[in-house]
Structure 1
Amino acid sequence: MDKPPATLHDNRLLLLKLLLLACVMFVFAWGLIPVYDALCRLTGLGSLQRPDTVGSQRLAATPLAPVLLTFDATVQPGLPWQVRPLTRTLRAVPGEFVRVDYEITNASNRQVIGQAIPRYLPAAAAEYVKKLDCFCFAQQAFAPGETRRFPVVFVVDKNVPAGLDSITLAYTVFDVPGRS
């Protein structure tokens, strides 16, 4: 026996159920944000926006070999910024404080907010570079045509392995959606 065709009432009831399900999913997704933030604070995940700490380090019995540091920056396609390190390379002895400056220019005619994310090459070097001050710790808002310089202050840990004699510190700058 064939089923009768769906009535207008049945269709409206199905639509109501689907809208209710979509609303529940939306509320659930928004409710996960504080849970995710708490999990990140608890585990230390996503700690890019906090300075590292440098404990007391004993002097090495033998002089430490300098590490060649290379600095670089890239910008997300479509972001109207120019980002460049003012120092491209330098040699630093592990345990010494290092300061380099990055210059950022908003080349557009509107305010833009961006966030820099650091990366290290080789990736294992991230464990040995302790950043104390960095423009990557916070979002940066730039007025149209504005240019600013930002310091990056860090220490290469004295426990850096002997084979790790070259480190690249690069930043990729992304647009912060909805904030510009």
Structure 2
Amino acid sequence: MRDNRILLKKLLLIACLMFGFAWALIPMYRVICEVTGINRVVKADAAPAAGSSIAPGVPVKLVFDANVQAGLPWQVKPLVRSMMARTGEFVRVDYEITNASNRRVVGQAIPRYLPAAAGPYVHKLDCFCFKEQAFAPGETRRFPVVFVVSRELPAELSELTLAYTVFDVPGKVAS
């Protein structure tokens, strides 16, 4: 009987220690995420407050393009070819993708920025390029691309092109 009580006390102590450790993980996780950048959510730069000395975002011309790897039976096109936006503001553009074949196809889009120096200043929040896309024969879908162009964009970059190249994912094509 005495041994059972000792065992019970030990198990209760272990359970309390486990609960305390799990509770301590929450602030530790936040610190680790801040330091490493994991789970960082990009937010649009704040709009200037009334009377603030912060200038509104500068205008930038955005051009959208897409192409497909040779042999991939997809048609990819942005629904808007170009637009004006301001740095620090959310931008959304839709791309339409059609599988023009009579078989299931899996593809992956890779983004490209022109000029290449613009890449670090484009922060995507939502994009079809984040994962592989599987399409049934003849299927058409629209995908949003949501991003922010940083206010830190150098002045010489007044026009940016966001282009996607869609590649076939080997081993994922099924008849």
Q: Could you tell me the TM-score, scaled by structure 1's length?
A: 0.69
**Alpha-carbon distance change, 63 to 56 in structure 1, aligned in 2, over 3 angstroms:** closer
Does structure 1 conserve the Cα–Cα contact (< 8 Å) formed by 2:109 and 2:129?
Answer: yes
Instruction: Please state if 1:57 is matched with 2:48.
Output: no
Q: Tell me, what secondary structure is at the counterpart of 1:136?
A: helix
Q: Displacement, 1:54?
A: 1.6
Shift of 1:55: 4.8
Report what 2:100 is aligned to: 107
Q: After TM superposition, which residue ranges in structure 1, 4 or more long, deviate above 3 angstroms?
A: 50-53, 55-60
Q: Is 1:74–1:83's contact at 8 Å kept on the other side of the alignment?
A: yes
Q: d(CA) in 2 for partners of 1:107 and 1:161?
A: 40
Q: State how far apart, in whole Å, the 2-side matches of 1:51 and 1:86 are.
A: 30
Worse-superposed segment, 75-84 or 156-165: 156-165
Q: Deviations over 1:38-73 (max 9, x none)?
A: xxxxxx9xxxxx997325735462233210000000
From 102, 114, 117, the counterpart of 1:121: 114
Please report how far the alpha carbon of residue 106 of structure 1 lies from its aligned counterpart in structure 2 after TM superposition. 0.2
**Residues 113-135 of structure 1: CA deviation (Å, up to 9, x unaligned):** 00000000000101000000000
Amino acid at match of 1:104: I
Partner of 1:171: 164
Match in the other structure for 2:67: 74
> Could you tell me the percent identity over the aligned residues?
67
Q: What's the Cα RMSD here?
A: 2.0
* Counterpart contact for 1:51–1:133, Cα < 8 Å: no
CA contact (8 A) 2:57 2:89 kept: no
Count of residue pairs brought into register by the alignment: 132
CA distance in 2, matches of 1:97, 1:103: 20
- TM-score scaled to structure 2, two decimals? 0.71
Distance 1:52 1:108, change over 3 A: farther
Q: Which stretches in structure 2 are left out of the alignment for 5+ residues? A: 1-35
- What amino acid is the match of 2:45? Q
Structure 1 distance, partners of 2:40, 2:90, is: 13
